[in-house]
């Protein structure tokens, strides 16, 4: 009788060790996931700052003279107009303007 209870206790102990190792693995995985999420949250503002600084530095050479400034505003206006009217132009017409190797 004592031998059977010892064997049963041994089996229970092995099952508990297995579950303990699984819990430890899950906790480690959770910590790694939390670190990845925290790092991605921290990298978003950094990437946004790089994007904004690049966008602000790009048009500065275009604003050196009145002609360049006028040309830049004209191009921005034409881009805005094309963006608003793009739904009115069928896709077939766009494909005629774009070379086949770019598609």
As a whole number of angstroms, the distance between CA 73 and CA 10 comes to 81
Q: Would you say residue 99 has pLDDT above 80?
A: no
As a whole number of angstroms, the distance between CA 48 and CA 56 comes to 12
- Reported as a single tens digit per residue, the pLDDT across 43-91 is 777 878 888 888 777 767 767 788 888 888 898 898 888 888 777 666 6
Closest among 21, 20, 41, 39 to 31, alpha carbons compared: 39
The domain segmentation of the chain, as residue ranges, is 2-87
Q: What pLDDT does 7 receive?
A: 86
Rg (CA), the chain: 32
As a whole number of angstroms, the distance between CA 103 and CA 95 comes to 8
Q: Do residues 77 and 69 touch, judged by C-beta distance below 8 A?
A: no
Q: Report the predicted TM-score, pTM, of the whole model to 2 decimal places.
A: 0.39
**Residue 44 or 9, more confident:** 9
């Amino acid at each position: 009788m004592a031998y059977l209870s010892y064997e049963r206790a041994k089996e229970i102990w092995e099952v508990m060790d297995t579950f303990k190792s699984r819990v430890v693995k899950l906790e480690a995985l959770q910590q790694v996931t939390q670190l990845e999420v925290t790092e991605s949250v921290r990298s978003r503002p950094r990437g946004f700052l790089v994007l904004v600084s690049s966008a602000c530095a790009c048009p500065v050479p275009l604003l050196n003279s009145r002609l360049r400034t006028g040309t830049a505003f004209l191009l921005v206006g034409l881009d805005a107009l094309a963006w608003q009217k793009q739904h009115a132009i069928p896709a077939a017409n766009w494909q005629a303007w774009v070379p086949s190797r770019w598609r």
